[in-house]
Structure 1
């Protein structure tokens, strides 16, 4: 997956693509608007689009159907204030450009946290603390309380204030603004960190002996790691 953004006036159109993608498309009329900043200017905004491509046999591309996309195609969009500024780089978040700017340039800028993550058969999008997730649902990896697949980006209402997200093979991990880690999905090999091998259908807080705030998380197929900030 990847992000592209451009300055334009955004229109909230909620019509999903329903066909196979064998070529790229930039038609915003087919891309739903998932989120709009409260500070978005009524006349002008920055539209950020999420693109995906490759194998989508389990709906992980987010296009509404099982498909294979051989070119990057737009999946969703969101509208930001023309004065937005990307936040500092964090795993699972879109990093800002490493350019030193005068303090006057940053005055009035609105920080927006944006991130994406791809698991084995599921995907996630993070925008300003909100988490959308979609794809194969077995094992509970989507965190909606069931194991059904979801073919379009869907907001997970069990979480808020999310700072970063990491997707594994059959499980998912999220870090919130309080430095707390939540995991859900298949619990085999102890990947969830809950001292049992049970699956979790909704996000569950990971508890341990550490006292410091957790600042980074990462995951792979069947294991998870975190870094604390002392």
Structure 2
């Protein structure tokens, strides 16, 4: 199945999951409170405040564990269908920029580190000349069942190249592959304006802090297809 590619400037809206979290927190706190009240021999209308406090504490603990750990479990993701893409991805950036001599830039070796929790995704992109950090990022599931990662970023070139490459903002979007080796494939746009494509076919669980160490790293493997529970 081929996943469609959308415009990364159609930025996702934030805030919707929080309302659901509030409702679930209230439900957990109330459920724990009523259960403790029954076990303690209290009537439903006479639940002491300390029991509701325990319920709130349990709800907070459950969500903390969910945010960092539980959502990653295979059995959980089998039902939530959320892809796990945390780690360092390696590949190349292909820019459409045309040099003064009418030639295009060669492919740029690129590393992307993705930090992921149940409700937050952060994307850091490294090349030999610059570093880009996402200001907003989100996983989106399309009606055809494909997932894509969309983010907006601030790019900061190294000081020695700023005579020809100034700091700038941009947006990028990649689809998450369905077959072995597909990895993350997508495109980017900047406000300079320039545009190009991203091809990230190798993955490692190791976190790298620069393109040099990531590109020289030996722990990378071909990206595996995303599937429920994997």
* TM-score interval for Structure 1 and Structure 2 normalised by the shorter chain: under 0.3
Instruction: Please report the TM-score for the alignment, with normalisation by the length of structure 2.
Output: 0.26
Which has the larger helix fraction? 2
Structure having greater relative contact order (Cα 8 Å, sep ≥ 6): 2
Which has the larger strand fraction? 1
Larger radius of gyration: 2
Instruction: Please report the TM-score for the alignment, with normalisation by the length of structure 1.
Output: 0.26
